[in-house]
Amino acid sequence: AQSVTQLDSHVSVSEGTPVLLRCNYSSSYSPSLFWYVQHPNKGLQLLLKYTSAATLVKGINGFEAEFKKSETSFHLTKPSAHMSDAAEYFCVVSATSGTYKYIFGTGTRLKVLA
């Protein structure tokens, strides 16, 4: 069975400060993990993915995430927040066993203060 928990429903940061969005997962198989971003009234856009290669994954727009198996975590970070980063972020887990079942977290709304 798979599950994903996003530990914060809302995060507020000031522009230019670091961003940390936390995600813990549970999976019976070696997981694939993803972060998606959703801007208001838009579809979900892939930020980055982990599929058992390098544990530090770099994505678009300066975001990166680190897969930590011992902590079952896949936290999303960015060194310096920009106003355009304000959006909803979803952590997603999928088993690599071929079932192609994707489980979404409940989302973290990121607010960036000027």
Partner 1 sequence: EAGVVQSPRYKIIEKKQPVAFWCNPISGHNTLYWYLQNLGQGPELLIRYENEEAVDDSQLPKDRFSAERLKGVDSTLKIQPAELGDSAVYLCASSSNRGSGANVLTFGAGSRLTVL
CB–CB of 38/45 below 8 Å? yes
Report the residue count for the chain.
114
* Extended beta strands in the chain, E state: 3-6, 10-14, 19-21, 23-26, 31-38, 44-50, 56-58, 64-68, 73-78, 87-95, 102-104, 108-113
Contact between 29 and partner 1 (CB under 8 A)?
A: no
In the complex with partner 1, the residue whose CB is nearer, 41 or 70, is 41
Contact between 73 and partner 1 (CB under 8 A)?
A: no
Of 108, 88, 103, residue with least CA distance to 38? 88
In the complex with partner 1, the residue whose CB is nearer, 80 or 101, is 101
CB of 58 to partner 1, least distance (A): 15
CB of 64 to partner 1, least distance (A): 17
Q: Contacts with partner 1 in 52-71 (CB under 8 A)?
A: none
Task: Tell me which of 44, 64, 66, 77 binds partner 1, using CB under 8 A.
Answer: 44
Cα(33)–Cα(7) distance, rounded to whole angstroms? 16
Binding site for partner 1 (CB under 8 A): 32, 34, 36, 41-46, 49, 51, 90, 92, 94, 100-102, 104-107
